[in-house]
Amino acid sequence: MGVSLDIIIVGAGLGGLAAALALSSQNHRVTVLESSTRVGEIGAGIQVTPNFTRILHRWGLSEPLAKYGVLPQMVTQLRWENGKELTHFSLNRDDQMEKAFGYPYYHIHRMDLHNMLLDKARENGAVIKTGCVVAEYAHLTEGGHNGMKEQVILNDGRTFRAHLIIAADGSKSALNQFVTGAKTKAQPTGDSAYRALLTREQVQELALDSLPIEKGATVWLGPDRHVVGWRGRRRKLEAAR
């Protein structure tokens, strides 16, 4: 039995919950501080590649992954202006991913993956606290109960101490300035992404049934932009531009 640490994770997104699940499964005492008043995830579909599928299986999430995920058979790439097929390649067709890498490749909705991680982390004993907005961090040079010298101070004055703090609250994290000594801001890249969800009924209404999305992902390639469509959560069509 190794050393058991008190660990604080700031942020209950996918990264924060994955860290909470991994650490709590090793008998560490984990507390997750989330700024929102409720734990949730926004977004649309994402990809779970075989290397991550392997980890999810190790964490005991193979059944919910198979329940909520979709196994795309292939990726088809089309020319944007006329729909002519440029190329295609296999993913799970004939179990190619599993044969090559040991585990399959999934499409899944972010919310479903988020809920899977949340439920399992709680099952492992991780404590999730909402409405916790971090104002600053501090390192105690002296004292500290049971060796806990790392400190999180919330905007309402509450203080939490731990042996280790993990910041998983994004590019605007207060830890950036604490570590680097300077305020940093995310810089615009000039790229944008738009996402949409279509129900099966909407797909039929828009006469999109003929698209090869049912078998996997379809990519329309054009100059300086592309569109991707695939079957996702509860048989909805996911699209990203």
Name the residue ranges covered by the structural domains of the chain.
Answer: 6-42+111-180
- Residue 27, φ and ψ in degrees, nearest 5: 70, 20
Question: Alpha helices, DSSP H only, in the chain?
Answer: 14-24, 50-58, 62-68, 96-101, 110-123, 175-180, 200-205
Look at residue 87 in the predicted model and tell me its pLDDT. Answer: 94
What's CA 226's distance to the chain center, in Å? 23
* SS3 (DSSP) at 57: helix
Nearest C-alpha neighbor of 31 from the set 152, 144, 141: 152
pTM: 0.87
CB atoms within 10 A of CB 207: 8
Q: Does domain 6-42+111-180 have CATH number 3.50.50.60?
A: yes
Residues 15-73: pLDDT tens digits? 999 999 999 999 999 999 999 988 876 777 889 999 999 999 999 999 999 999 989 99
Q: How many CB atoms neighbour CB 150 within 10 A?
A: 18
Each as own residue / partner, the long-range contacts of residues 212-216 (CB below 8 Å, 24 or more positions apart, any chain) are 212/76, 213/237, 215/72, 215/73, 215/74, 215/76, 216/72, 216/73, 216/74, 216/75, 216/76, 216/91, 216/92
How far does CA 116 lie from the centroid of its chain?
11
Output the average pLDDT for the chain: 88
Interval 69-117: pLDDT, tens: 989 999 999 999 998 999 998 999 888 999 999 999 999 989 899 999 9
Q: What is the pLDDT of residues 168-212, one digit of tens each?
A: 998 888 888 877 888 778 888 999 988 888 887 887 888 776 776
The answer to whether 219 touches 77, Cβ cutoff 8 Å, is yes
Residues 152-169 have pLDDT tens digits of 999 999 999 999 999 999
Q: Which residues make beta-bridge pairs with 229? A: 218, 239
Tell me whether strands 237-240 and 225-231 are parallel, antiparallel or unpaired.
Answer: antiparallel
